[in-house]
Structures are given as C-alpha cells and as structure tokens.
Structure 1
Amino acid sequence: MSTIEKQIDVDVPAEVAWDCLHSVESYPQFVDGVREARPEGKRKAHLDLETGARVREVDTEITDRAKGGEKGNVMLWHTAKGESADLKGAFTVRAIDDQHTQVQVRVEYDPERTREAFGGPRGFAQSDAIQELVQHDLEQFKDLVEGKH
C-alpha cells in the first residue's frame, strides 16, 4: 500500500468544513472525476466516477470519529468490499481558531490495483499524478467551502 497525505488551511470555522465533507452531493464540485455522488443510508455513498472514456460506479463506506479539540474530527472512508480498486483514507478537520481550519486528507491505495481499475501511468509517475490530484481536490475544496461561507 502507498500513502499520500496532504493538508490545506481554509478560512471557515471547523463546523463549516466538516459539514461540507459530509455533504456527499457536493463531491462533484471538488473531487476531480466524480460525476455524481449520493448518500445511501447513513454510512454509505455511491459515486459515479469518470475515468478516461468510461464511467465506473464505486460504493464507499464512511465512519466518523469525532474527537474535537486539538485532535479535530476524523472521517474515515474506504471503498466497499469487492471493488477492484481498494482505496481507503481519512479527512481530518482541526480548528486553528474560530474562523480558520486545517483540513488534512490521507489516501491509502495499492498502486497496481488502482492502475488496473482506473488506468494511467505506473510507478512514480502514478504516485505523482495521484498526489497532484489530491492537492488539486483540496484546493477545489477550499474554493468551495470558502465560497459557501
């Protein structure tokens, strides 16, 4: 498994960032490749992903670990069992002060299974591409959440 961690500071209260992360329907606005997203029950989400010329459907499971304080709140997620790409990760939301928040994302993936499921380059090129994608998604999240506030 490979792991990517990125973070960004946003100029909104922690509750605003936390609520946006839990608004599954907003994922297409900040996660590249997500065409449509919808909640399925309290802890699941269904995503339609555009990967090149094809559309893939992916189901995810979400678990919250609200800690509060300096440790922040953590939203864990992973693709459902049986998905060809075994992905998992976490969003951590930490209040810097009343109006500023740090959002950290961690993504764990198997490079070969991810490449088989979604295509793209191999090795370091794939890792670089995924890191750039995660950073870009964080920047889009910042634009979205700061625009909503």
Structure 2
Amino acid sequence: MNTVEQSIDVEVPVHVAYNQWTQFKTFPRFMDGVKRVEQTQAALTHWVTRIGGRTVEFDAEIVEQVPDRLLRWEALDPPRHTGTVSFESLGDDRCRVTLRLEAEGTPRLRERVGAALGLVTRWADGSLRCFKEFVEGQGRETGHWRGEISGSHVRPGTHHHKPQVPTWPIG
C-alpha cells in the first residue's frame, strides 16, 4: 500500500472549509490537472483529469461523508485509489484540512507508483495550498451540502439553508 498524507491550516471556520470541499465543480480552480468534476449522484462523482499529457476519466464513489469532519471516497476505475479529506477545528476561525490518498496494486505496480509518490505528494501539497488560497480569498464557501453518507447510503442534510433572494431598489 502506498500512502500520501498532507495537511494545511486554513484561516476559515471548519464549516466553511468543509462546505467548500463539497463543491466538487470548483475543484479545477485549485487542483492541478483536474479539468472537470461532475456530481452525477449524491454519492457518485465523475472526474476528467489531465495526467502526464493524457486525459484520464474515472468515477469515484463517496463511501463516507460527515459534515465538518470528513469525506472518504473510492475510485471505481483506474487509477484505483481511496482517499480521505478530514477537517479539524483549531478555534473559531481556523481549521486543519488533511488529505490522505492510498493506492494498492501488484509489486510491479507498487514500484511504479512508489516512484510517482514524490509527484503525488507535491500534487497533494500544491492542491491544499491552492485550496487554502481559494477559500481564504473567497472568505466564505461558494455553496454547501450538509448531508451524510455512510456505507454509500445517503442521508440528506437536516440543516436546510433558505436561499437568499436579492432585493433590488425600485428605480
């Protein structure tokens, strides 16, 4: 098993960082090589990436999601991997975001993946730094989903936020 784990402290409340991470369509704005992420179902995402000059598409299933704590997924297609992003409050306006990626395979594949771990480590570190810059620059999340997923079973969120309707001055 090859594992990469990177953390970063972010100057926003934990719920802001978590809420932003659930907005998969914004991933191309802070993840190098990610061209598009579509959430096709509550627990299923489709990724289009550009890796080493090749376009790679894969589906990933969200197997666990707990608001303000963690999101865990499994890639259903190559490149096969699992990942977890966890969120830890460090006080009122700060939190720690930790990204963990794991890949399994044959000894030959592990050797090739092992050689690439330096690249994956740099990618994870760069993605977290860009996420920090993105969410701190926004100062708030661009959206949210507060549901829970356990064992791929989806339970919609109980926190319903009423959308704000803009009011325009009558001119």
TM-score surpassing 0.5?
yes
CA positional deviation for 1:18: 0.3
Matched, 1:22 2:8: no
Q: 1:51 and 1:109, CA in 2 relative to 1: closer, same or farther beyond 3 A?
A: same
**Contact 1:34–1:47 (8 Å) recurs in 2:** yes
- Paired position in structure 2 for 1:13: 13
The two structures, once aligned, show a CA RMSD in angstroms of 2.2
Matched, 1:110 2:136: no
Counterpart CA distance in 2 for 1:6 and 1:53 is 25
- Paired position in structure 2 for 1:131: 121
- Paired position in structure 2 for 1:61: 61
TM-score by length of structure 1 reads: 0.83
- Paired position in structure 1 for 2:136: 146
Deviations 1:104-123 (A, max 9, x none): 1110013779x79xxxx936
- Paired position in structure 2 for 1:49: 49
Counterpart CA distance in 1 for 2:86 and 2:10 is 13
Counterpart CA distance in 1 for 2:122 and 2:106 is 18
Q: 1:139 and 1:129, CA in 2 relative to 1: closer, same or farther beyond 3 A?
A: same
Count of aligned positions: 138
Matched, 1:89 2:83: yes
**Contact 1:96–1:102 (8 Å) recurs in 2:** yes
For 1:103, give the aligned amino acid. V
Highest Rg: 1 or 2? 2
For 2:70, give the aligned amino acid. V
TM-score by length of structure 2 reads: 0.73
Moved over 2 A (4+): 63-66, 110-113, 121-125
Deviations 1:84-138 (A, max 9, x none): 221101000011011001001110013779x79xxxx936541111111111111
Q: Which structure: greater strand fraction? A: 1
Q: Which structure: greater helix fraction? A: 1
